[in-house]
Amino acid sequence: MSKRETMELAIGGEMLPMRFLMKYSYQGEKYAAFTPACGADPSDEEGVALTHIVSAETKSKERTRQRLLFRLLTAVTCILCIIPVLCVLLTALVFVLQPDFWWVGMSGMIVAVADLIVLIPVARALARARKDRKEQKRRETAYEVLPGEGNGEVFSEFEIRYRIIEKLSKNEPLSMLEYQRLNIWRKFLYRSKMFFRGIPGWFGRKFKRLGLRLKAFGISIWENIKDIGATFKNGSWKTRVSYFFMGFGNLSHRQVLRGVLFFLFEVIFVGFMVLSGGHWLGKFGTLGTTRLEKVYDPVLDVWVDKHIDNSFKILLYGLLTIFFIAAFVYTWRLNVKQCRILDEITATGKRVKSSKEDIQSLADNEFHKTLLSLPVLGIVMFTVLPIVFMILVGFTSYDFENDGYNNLFTWCGLDNFNRVFAFGSKLSLAFGEILAWTLIWAVVATFSNYFLGMFVAMMINKKGIKIKKFWRTILVMTIAIPQFISLLYVSNLFADNGIVNATLMRWGWIDSPIRFWGNGTLAKVMVLVINIWVGIPYLMLITTGILMNIPADLYESAQIDGANAFQQFCKITMPYMLFVTGPYLLTSFVSNINNFNVIYLLTQGGPEHTAWGEVGGYIAGDTTILITWLFGITTGPEASYKMASVIGTLIFLVVSILSLVVFTIMPSTRREEDYA
Amino acid sequence: MKKQLLALGMGTLMLLPALCGVAACGGGGGENKDGKSYNITVWVGEGTDTLTKQQIQRFNETNEDGVTFNANVLIVSESKAVGDASSKPQSCADIFCFAQDQLARAVHGNLLMPLNTGSVNAITSSCDERSVEGAKIGGSIRAFPLTYDNGYFMYYDKRVVKEEHIGSLEDILADVDAYKGEDGLPRNFSMNLTDDGGSWYSASFFYATGCESEWTTDDEGNFIDYSDTFNSEQGLIALKGMQKLLKFPKYNASAEVSDFSAGIPSAVVVSGIWGYNAAKTALGDNLGIAPLPSFWVDANGNGQKDEGESYQLKTYLGSKFMGIKPQSDPYRAAYLQKLAQFLTNEQCQRERYDAVGWGPSNKAAAEAATTSPALNALNDSATTPQGQYPTGWWAKLDVMVGNAKTSTGDDASLNALLSTYSNALNELKKS
């Protein structure tokens, strides 16, 4: 018997790390010892608790019969469980959509009740069969803890189980060995419980780390200030001049390139501040005070506008100036630091780097700076700056009335955020419900596409499926047609007076149109289902490639070990897929939170949820997600950019927190070596 | 010594651009005041872009000042123009067309240049008094009346709705309900009461019962006062009448004449002049056009025809305007006013009537415009002059009607909706 078989037998077919097990042969029988649990010395055969291994060859006909009975009962129970769910769904749909057909709904309910009556004895039989099977399995594979004579602590099976139950009831963590003894549901419950119990601690650690980082940041600033003071006090006169004329220290040490660059930067900065930066920064606190003037031209008999302040420009350029000042302060500090280093080098009599060497190092050991400088600048200009600008708009009164050009807007503190979070207000109610639906939408849309796309890909890739290219082509057709066209078409298809309703009425199936887009719940289901139709082909294409890359020998090994198709999927396909497509899942989730196209083109966010009232002249609807709400508010009659900014900021927070958390815990980033 | 000189030189260099900047600030910039050729952008309604280009070309050739406009004419819906202009006030069109209900908003947002004496005189002397009155905010005319046809009436399918029934909503609904076409499909009644923009149509029920909502603006387009009687017995009757349509199984919340060709076609569509050509194409000789019908409500709120009292639905009737964006160059401003005067003169309005059927606001052109059945139906309609309302007012009316659709319909629930609406109005007034 191999070591692996011994392990499996010893723990009822579940794998355990080898460190827990030792295999022994004693008087011609095979034994395994749980050395850590028992605390015994594995080298001392007399002192360890030995576990009797029953041979795998003791399978009997009774076992086969029990297995078949168990599977049959499982299948019947599953079917009996699904039937009432379907009946209840059917009943609900009938009562919501076609109350006239109440008798269909009632029939569904009767079937559901009858089904439940049948289900009870079948479920009992299943439980019995399961118990018998487990008992049989245990008898075949269980070990008995034999009384040892050594000093090690020895536990019987009963004692071990008792300890586990006791630990669970006291919410104490289990050891790896104890965890492995739990059944699949208990494992799931235990993991879930441990996950939720761990959340406060996780946040606590994060906050603590944040606090430490802030503290370190503060200390670093203080250290820098001290260093600047000390450098001025102890540095050479050239270093002191560099405090006012950046790059002077470098130039005087014949580092011409660095010196010129530092100096040029200072010249540009001063020029910018005098020419425009100072102007924008001076007005940044008020966002402008002088509105436009209307001037009458008596000769031509016309009024012309003379614009003085522009709040929008002040906000934008003021922010740009602040960024520029921050960049200047950083560069100035760098200049001072370099001067100090140059002083230190010259004091030791060493040679300083020449400009030529500087350029060479940019192509060699400093090459990362050469490569990253432009992208970093681009990210700051085109990502960070707009995000900060967008967030700042939420603290102003920027809307249609105060557009910043004709009528100035100004800072208004947290007023806009207060409107969203005012407890009990219609706006906060609407925000809560829209946020909840946005998250539901994002989760369901992401995972339904993911699993169904994977399922379709597996079906098409399955051996024996003919004309695979044809099936793939059909699915890819939905990608070939621009999404906004297909979505608008489908939207019209399911309209109250659309072709679907017309056809159903013509066939006599319905008397009045089904309000696919007029009923909030139905509209939500529709957008989810249509999103599946639109999204599956993409997932099918992505997963086809990945599925083909999973090594076939993994499946062969699993088959030899007796794993069925479902086990192979759970233990090989899914982990592999999740590992490879983890980042895709995350980006897909984030893009679904901001999935404007599907929602807006299908329903425009409707049907209108009038109980929420209107925000900025726009009435949100049942299928409105945060991004379509933002769009509606911005383009609505009152063009409330300030409220749109608040919602945008909240979307940003939700997305960034979720992204960071998921990205941190996903296996692709934690266990890169697993599939290397 | 060399290094001290270097430091001095650097200091001077550093201050050089700053000094230059100060000098430049003092100098200021100049604008090209040539005034003879201007690049402009013009936003017009659907179907009139080509005609407008031709008219501008004609202006270029005939104007006595010798000014030339190189116009980029774009189609922007009149209902969206002010919103679009407000989102980009600096780069919006120099001349744009918009619906009357947005005039106060446009003035308040400083999107309209004040008109000079010549323009005001031209407007008052040539245009219909009602459209001139509609162009005023705070007593001053603020835009050029382009049409006087902004209202709605009923397009219907003569095969479904009998001609003798078109005066009564109950009869029309009965006709629509009873009809089953050869295609095996029923027919719908399309009137947008609950969808986006539905309040413009739903207001007709309130005006039918004698309700009023009048808002007063100051010179800057701020709403400083209002008088609203929707929250009243008459308002309750209006909601009850509206519920007949909202609860009608074949009601469709739409104002699109394309509904005549939908999967389940409509037999009646309440829409405006702009839908005439499409309706004619869809129904041909079966197209009927009529003013809005009346509805009946009795003491129980469930009046059938000839029970209780009859109320005639009233459409808004107003103008579309042409406005000019405020300018900083007086010459450009003066020439743009001349161009706008030209584009709204009698000849241009006649051409627009001939091309797309828009009802002229110019008196002389209107007298000659008698051949359009759609315009005639509108002229025969019971009307309410289009007033100015805060943007939020439309949304609040939308909310009330949307809630009325899902309410139980009893007096208490409808009164609660009216009361909520009424209480919310005060926040729209500028204090």
Cβ-defined contact of B17 to A266 (cutoff 8 Å): no
Work out the average pLDDT over A2-16.
41
Report residue A58's pLDDT band, with 50, 70 and 90 as the boundaries.
very low
Residue with tokens 């059917």: A90
Cβ-defined contact of A639 to B83 (cutoff 8 Å): yes
Residue A288 has pLDDT above 60, yes or no: yes
B108 lies in the same domain as B135: yes
- Mean pLDDT of chain B, nearest integer: 87
Give the per-residue pLDDT at A670.
Answer: 60
Q: Which residue among A244, A271, A635 sits closest to B83, beta carbon to beta carbon?
A: A635
Cβ-defined contact of A270 to B17 (cutoff 8 Å): yes
B164 lies in the same domain as B36: no
Give the per-residue pLDDT at A179.
Answer: 83
A641 contact partners, CB below 8 Å, separation of at least 6: A393, A398, A399, A634
A427: left (phi over 0), alpha (psi -120 to 50) or beta: alpha
Q: How far apart are CA B48 and CA B61, in angstroms?
A: 20
Q: Which residue among B262, B391, B402 sits closest to A497, beta carbon to beta carbon?
A: B262
Report residue B301's pLDDT band, with 50, 70 and 90 as the boundaries.
low
Quote the Cα angle for A667-A670-A671, to 5°: 75
Report residue A676's pLDDT band, with 50, 70 and 90 as the boundaries.
very low
Residue B172 has pLDDT above 50, yes or no: yes
Closest CA to B203 of B250, B152, B168: B152
* Out of A297-301, B101-105, B244-248, least confident range: A297-301
B157 lies in the same domain as B305: yes
Residue with tokens 């003013």: B291
Pairs of CB atoms within 8 A across A/B: 177
Work out the average pLDDT over A630-658.
87
Q: Which of B10, B202, B222 to probe by mutation at the A interface, max A CB count within 10 Å? A: B10
- Tell me whether A94 touches chain B (CB under 8 Å): no
Residue type present at position A15: M
Residue B374 has pLDDT above 80, yes or no: yes
Identify the closest residue of chain A to B104 by CA–CA distance. Answer: A401
Q: Look up residue A83 and give its two tokens.
A: 């039937």
Work out the average pLDDT over A152-179.
75
Give the per-residue pLDDT at A182.
Answer: 83
- Mean pLDDT of chain A, nearest integer: 81
Q: Per residue in A319-378, pLDDT tens?
A: 999 999 999 999 999 999 999 999 899 888 888 888 888 888 888 888 888 899 999 999
Identify the closest residue of chain B to A238 by CA–CA distance. Answer: B3
pTM attached to this predicted model: 0.72
- The DSSP code for B135 is T
Give the per-residue pLDDT at B303.
Answer: 67
Which domain, by its residues, includes B9? 2-150+317-379
3-class secondary structure per residue, A140-196: HHCCCECCCCCCCCCCCHHHHHHHHHHHHHCCCCCCHHHHHCCCHHHHHHHHHHHHH
Q: How far apart are CA B206 and CA A252, in angstroms?
A: 85
Cβ neighbours of B337 in A, within 8 Å: 302
Cβ atoms within 10 Å of B70's Cβ, excluding its own? 10
Cβ-defined contact of B22 to A274 (cutoff 8 Å): yes
- Tell me whether B63 touches chain A (CB under 8 Å): no
- C-beta of residue B141 within 8 angstroms of C-beta of residue B125: no
What is each CA distance from A618 to A136, A401, B431, in whole angstroms? 67, 16, 23
Q: Which residue among A270, A406, A497 sits closest to B252, beta carbon to beta carbon?
A: A497
Q: Per residue in A476-501, pLDDT tens?
A: 887 888 888 889 999 999 999 999 99
B246 contact partners, CB below 8 Å, separation of at least 6: B193, B194, B401, B404, B405
Give the per-residue pLDDT at B239.
Answer: 94
Cβ-defined contact of A637 to B333 (cutoff 8 Å): no
Give the per-residue pLDDT at A673.
Answer: 54
Give the per-residue pLDDT at A145.
Answer: 41
The helix/strand/coil state of A42 is coil
Give the per-residue pLDDT at A392.
Answer: 95
- Tell me whether B328 touches chain A (CB under 8 Å): yes
Q: Which of A144-153, A209-218, B34-43 has the highest mean pLDDT?
A: A209-218
Residue A552: CA count within 13 A, CB half-sphere:
3
Identify the closest residue of chain B to A305 by CA–CA distance. Answer: B328
Handedness of CA B385, B389, B395, B401 (dihedral sign): negative
Quote the Cα angle for B21-B26-B28, to 5°: 95
- C-beta of residue A434 within 8 angstroms of C-beta of residue A624: yes
The helix/strand/coil state of B139 is coil
The helix/strand/coil state of B382 is coil
- Tell me whether B13 touches chain A (CB under 8 Å): yes
Residue B8 has pLDDT above 60, yes or no: no
Portion 167-196 of B in contact with A at CB < 8 A: 183-186, 188, 194-196
Work out the average pLDDT over A387-414.
90
The helix/strand/coil state of B305 is coil
Bridge-based pairing state of the strands A21-26 and B213-217: unpaired
Cβ-defined contact of B86 to A400 (cutoff 8 Å): yes
Q: Which of B258, B398, B399, B405 to probe by mutation at the A interface, max A CB count within 10 Å? A: B399
Cβ neighbours of B21 in A, within 8 Å: 271, 274-275
A516/chain B closest Cα distance in angstroms: 13
Closest CA to B185 of B155, B159, B167, B154: B159
β-pair partners for A293: A306
B58 lies in the same domain as B171: no
Give the per-residue pLDDT at A152.
Answer: 45
B306 lies in the same domain as B170: yes
Q: How far apart are CA A664 and CA A643, in angstroms?
A: 31
Rounded (10°) angle between helices A256-272 and B2-27: 30
Q: Which residue among B21, B22, B110 sits closest to A407, beta carbon to beta carbon?
A: B110
Residue A295: CA count within 13 A, CB half-sphere:
13
Closest CA to B352 of B63, B78, B103: B78
Q: Which residue among A245, A497, A506 sits closest to B14, beta carbon to beta carbon?
A: A245
3-class secondary structure per residue, A283-327: HHCCCCCCCCEEEEECCCCEEEEECCCCHHHHHHHHHHHHHHHHH
Give the per-residue pLDDT at A148.
Answer: 40
Q: Which residue has the higher pLDDT, A450 or A183?
A: A450
Q: Which of A264, A291, A296, A302 to probe by mutation at the B interface, max B CB count within 10 Å? A: A302
Give the per-residue pLDDT at A15.
Answer: 39
Q: Look up residue B59 and give its two tokens.
A: 């202006």
Q: How far apart are CA B186 and CA A488, in angstroms?
A: 24
Q: Which residue has the higher pLDDT, A151 or A369?
A: A369
Give the per-residue pLDDT at B203.
Answer: 95
Q: How far apart are CA A447 and CA A43, in angstroms?
A: 51
Portion 258-297 of A in contact with B at CB < 8 A: 263, 266-268, 270-271, 274-275, 292, 294, 297
Residue with tokens 């004709």: A406
B279 lies in the same domain as B413: yes
A106 contact partners, CB below 8 Å, separation of at least 6: A91
Q: Per residue in A439-474, pLDDT tens?
A: 999 999 999 999 999 889 888 888 778 888 888 888
- C-beta of residue A157 within 8 angstroms of C-beta of residue A144: yes
Q: Per residue in A19-29, pLDDT tens?
A: 344 444 444 44
A556/chain B closest Cα distance in angstroms: 55
Work out the average pLDDT over B225-241.
93
- C-beta of residue A517 within 8 angstroms of C-beta of residue A431: no
B31 lies in the same domain as B100: yes
Report residue B421's pLDDT band, with 50, 70 and 90 as the boundaries.
very high
β-pair partners for B42: B73, B95
Q: How far apart are CA B160 and CA B183, in angstroms?
A: 13
- C-beta of residue A263 within 8 angstroms of C-beta of residue B14: yes
Domain count within chain B: 2
Q: Which residue among A238, A244, A497 sits closest to B264, beta carbon to beta carbon?
A: A497
Residue A8 has pLDDT above 50, yes or no: no
Cβ-defined contact of B326 to A303 (cutoff 8 Å): yes
β-pair partners for B289: B155
Residue with tokens 């010179």: B219
Residue A571: CA count within 13 A, CB half-sphere:
14
Phi, psi of B188 (to 5 degrees): -105, 165
Cβ atoms within 10 Å of A554's Cβ, excluding its own? 14
Cβ-defined contact of A304 to B22 (cutoff 8 Å): no
- C-beta of residue A123 within 8 angstroms of C-beta of residue A77: yes
Give the per-residue pLDDT at A140.
Answer: 56
Helix (H) or strand (E) holding B71: strand B68-75
Cβ-defined contact of A608 to B398 (cutoff 8 Å): yes
- Tell me whether A306 touches chain B (CB under 8 Å): yes
Work out the average pLDDT over B157-181.
92
Q: Which of A179-183, A289-293, B157-161 has the highest mean pLDDT?
A: B157-161
Residue B110 has pLDDT above 80, yes or no: yes
Residue A44 has pLDDT above 60, yes or no: no
Portion 382-441 of A in contact with B at CB < 8 A: 400-401, 403, 405-407
Portion 267-306 of B in contact with A at CB < 8 A: none
DSSP string, A415-466: HHHHHHH-TT-HHHHHHHHHHHHHHHHHHHHHHHHHHHHHHHHHHHHSTT--
B182 lies in the same domain as B96: no
Q: Which residue among B90, B262, B337 sits closest to A302, beta carbon to beta carbon?
A: B337
B44 lies in the same domain as B161: no
A176/chain B closest Cα distance in angstroms: 58
- Tell me whether A538 touches chain B (CB under 8 Å): no
Q: Per residue in A227-285, pLDDT tens?
A: 999 999 988 888 999 999 999 988 988 889 999 999 999 999 999 999 999 999 999 99
B75 lies in the same domain as B182: no
β-pair partners for B288: B156
Closest CA to A399 of B391, B221, B112, B429: B391
Domain CATH number, residue B188: 3.40.190.10
Residue A101 has pLDDT above 50, yes or no: yes
Identify the closest residue of chain A to B392 by CA–CA distance. Answer: A617
B208 lies in the same domain as B269: yes
B103 lies in the same domain as B220: no
Q: Which residue among A267, A299, A305 sits closest to B17, beta carbon to beta carbon?
A: A267
- The helices-and-strands tally (H runs, E runs) of chain A is 28, 7
Chain centre distance of CA A483: 25
| ipTM for the complex shown | 0.79
- Tell me whether A498 touches chain B (CB under 8 Å): yes
Query: How buried is residue A27: exposed, middle or buried, by Cβ count under 10 Å (0-12/13-18/19+)?
Result: exposed
Q: Per residue in A598-621, pLDDT tens?
A: 999 999 887 888 777 777 778 888
Identify the closest residue of chain B to A400 by CA–CA distance. Answer: B86
Cβ-defined contact of B110 to A292 (cutoff 8 Å): yes
